[in-house]
Structure 1
Amino acid sequence: MDSVYVDFLKGMLKPLAATSVVLLAVVLSFTQNLGLEKEMIYSIVRAFLQLSVVGFVLQFIFNQNNGGWIILAYLFMVSVAGYTAGQRAKHVPRGKYIAGASILGGTAITMFFLVLLKIFPFTPRYIIPVAGMMVGNSMTVTGVTMKRLRDDLKTQMSLVETALALGATPRQATHQQIKRSLVIALSPVIDNAKTVGLISLPGAMTGLIMGGASPIEAIQLQIVVMNMLIGASTVSSIASTYLCWPAFFTKAYQLETKVFISE
């Protein structure tokens, strides 16, 4: 165990040296009167501590090689992601639970197929990093979808109420708003897939190349990553619309106006 800590301390020399770039950003923020110095320092210190702790936790889990630890780590990531996405869509009733359930469903279904097709073995070293990428992207997309849907319904309440008065179901009356929110939320993921490798090399691919893997092997993995991110994000975002739109209506299928009052 002592050797692990020694190796950790030696390995942190380069990351510590890289903080000089952050110090440059702090100085620029100060000279330009941006007022971001404290936030920058807090962010980098927090990231340093979080990643250090996560590194030791993952080392422990990898050594155990137990499926239970995989599930526990996965549920922890989903819980944090659901809370964060719910914060973005804080005016959506039960937003944190809806976001968490949507992220859980989208990533679990995608992961199931990846394991079933033997793309990744069900081991901590593969599943936890892959799950982390999917959960992170699904978190962003789900939060944007829910927030955008609520905002669009608020600005177009009269249009939705007219559709309801003409006999449309809540889902039919909000079809355009749901479609718009999904398109806006998923567009960055799709655009990223279109330009991957042309503008910048993605993290997974860059990590493999820097780790000594051939570019061909790195590309193969990155293709898998892009596919799974699109799949998980799409399922999660669509699930969030099905789960959150009922909160916008009363039992009599009328708009729940109190949901759209707060800002």
Structure 2
Amino acid sequence: MNQLAVNNVSLLFAVLLVVVAVVISAKEKLGLTRDIIYAVARTVIQLVIVGYILKYVFQLDHAVFTLAMCLFIIFNASRQAHKRNPHTNKQFMHSFVAIFTSTVITLAILIFSGSLAFIPSQVIPITGMIASNSMVAIGLCYKHMHTQFHDQRQQVLEKLALGADMKSAASPILTGSIRTGMQPTIDSAKTVGLVSLPGMMSGLIFAGVDPVHAIKYQIMVMFMLLSATSLGAFIAGYLSYKNYFNARLQLTI
């Protein structure tokens, strides 16, 4: 089996790839040089710390530590999704409930079906994949919802004036927001294998696994992500759209 060799010297040469981005930012005056350097520094520090933590958790192989690590991932994904909500009346629990529910349901199906074993080396990475994709979908849902409530404010007010309830008045915005959150995953599923060889499949191929065998894992991952993003966007959308109305059914934006 072929092994992918990445040593410290290789990583130093890989820094040249970052230099390319910095040069482009400086040359075109994009104002992103500081952000790129900061992002790279955070990437290195965070991954090194997480790498040592995961090594310890994997060796320990204890259910409590595995669940704690999964909950830590879900919490951080929820915090990032919450930050992406432009609405001033946003609530953290909406993001947390959406990501927690979508992650737990998807993980439970994979574990009980036998596709995934409840061991740290499998559960924790898959939890990260599910939570991160759900986070992105929820962030897109929040941004689209805020924009549409702002742009369609008059239409919503007219529906309310004509006797529509909160759900009916916001239904087109809610539907569009959930669709926006799900769309990137759907587009990715349409082009997988034709345009991109995603992370799970590429990682297995790098490790020397038969590409035909790696495809099965990637199919499982795509199904998993479609489930997670749809559940996450759906739950977050239905929980958060009510924040745009007060007790008198008046828009707060």
TM bin, normalised by shorter chain, reads over 0.9
Aligned residues: 248
Amino acid at match of 2:174: I
1:183 corresponds to which of 163, 168, 179: 179
Q: Are 2:157 and 2:251, in contact at CA under 8 Å, matched by a contact in 1? A: no
Residue 121 of structure 2 is aligned to residue 125 of structure 1: yes
SS in 2 for 1:174: helix
Name stretches of at least 5 consecutive residues in structure 1 with no aligned partner. Answer: 1-9
1:28 to partner: Cα distance = 3.4
1:242 to partner: Cα distance = 1.5
Residue 34 of structure 2 is aligned to residue 45 of structure 1: no
Q: Which residue of 1 aligns with 2:251?
A: 256
Amino acid at match of 2:230: T
Encode CA deviations 1:195-230: one digit per residue, 9 max, x unaligned: 001012101110000001010111000000000001
Q: Which residue of 2 aligns with 1:81?
A: 77
Residue 162 of structure 2 is aligned to residue 166 of structure 1: yes
Q: Which residue of 1 aligns with 2:62?
A: 66
1:186 to partner: Cα distance = 1.1
User: For residues 243 and 24 of structure 2, what CA distance do their matches in structure 1 show?
Assistant: 46
Q: Are 2:61 and 2:119, in contact at CA under 8 Å, matched by a contact in 1? A: yes
Distance 1:174 1:31, change over 3 A: closer
TM-align CA RMSD? 1.6
Runs ≥4 residues deviating over 4 A: none
User: For residues 230 and 185 of structure 1, what CA distance do their matches in structure 2 show?
Assistant: 11
Instruction: Tell me the TM-score normalised to structure 2 length.
Output: 0.92
Name stretches of at least 5 consecutive residues in structure 2 with no aligned partner. Answer: 1-5
Instruction: Tell me the TM-score normalised to structure 1 length.
Output: 0.89
Distance 1:25 1:165, change over 3 A: closer
Q: Which residue of 2 aligns with 1:31?
A: 27
User: For residues 243 and 168 of structure 1, what CA distance do their matches in structure 2 show?
Assistant: 19
1:108 corresponds to which of 104, 110, 131: 104
User: For residues 162 and 26 of structure 2, what CA distance do their matches in structure 1 show?
Assistant: 58
1:92 to partner: Cα distance = 4.9
